[in-house]
Amino acid sequence: MHLAFYKNRADVSGIVHTHSKFATAIACMGWELPAVHYLIGMAGHRVKCTGYATYGSDELAKKAIETIGDSNAVLLANHGLIALGEDVDRAFSTAEHLEFVSEVYYLTKTLGTPNILSDENMDEVMKKFGTFRYK
């Protein structure tokens, strides 16, 4: 799967694949991770989830590439998370922040209906991320 990302995304030089608890739980629900917290902006406006495919298969790699688009992360249904970056440090940082956002989403879902940031809000966040870098 990693090779598929390197072949399809010239901007990627680092990939982190995790089975972190909260991101994996969201993936096992088949949900996308919405902008419940601005730190999702490290990946994009949201993190989409693939349909299920067997781990290690060409089908899973294909679904991941098709689903991720120009985002820097994708949830793999019933599996885990892939985070991309300009280097491994950035991909790792994105994966860590997305685990935090996944936990926040889980907690807000248990409390009621999460307040999701709009695309306009996220456009503003993404602009700000262009001048300020989270590590």
What's this model's pTM, rounded to 2 decimal places?
0.94
Distances (CA, A) of 40 to 19, 61, 80: 18, 23, 16
pLDDT mean values, one per 10 residues, the chain (135 residues): 92 97 99 98 97 97 96 98 97 98 98 98 90 57
Residue 105 forms beta bridges with which residues?
A: none
C-alpha 61/C-alpha 49 separation (Å) is 13
Residue 104 φ then ψ, to 5°: -60, -45
Q: CATH classification of 2-129, choosing from 1.10.3720.10, 3.40.225.10, 3.30.390.30, 3.30.200.20? A: 3.40.225.10
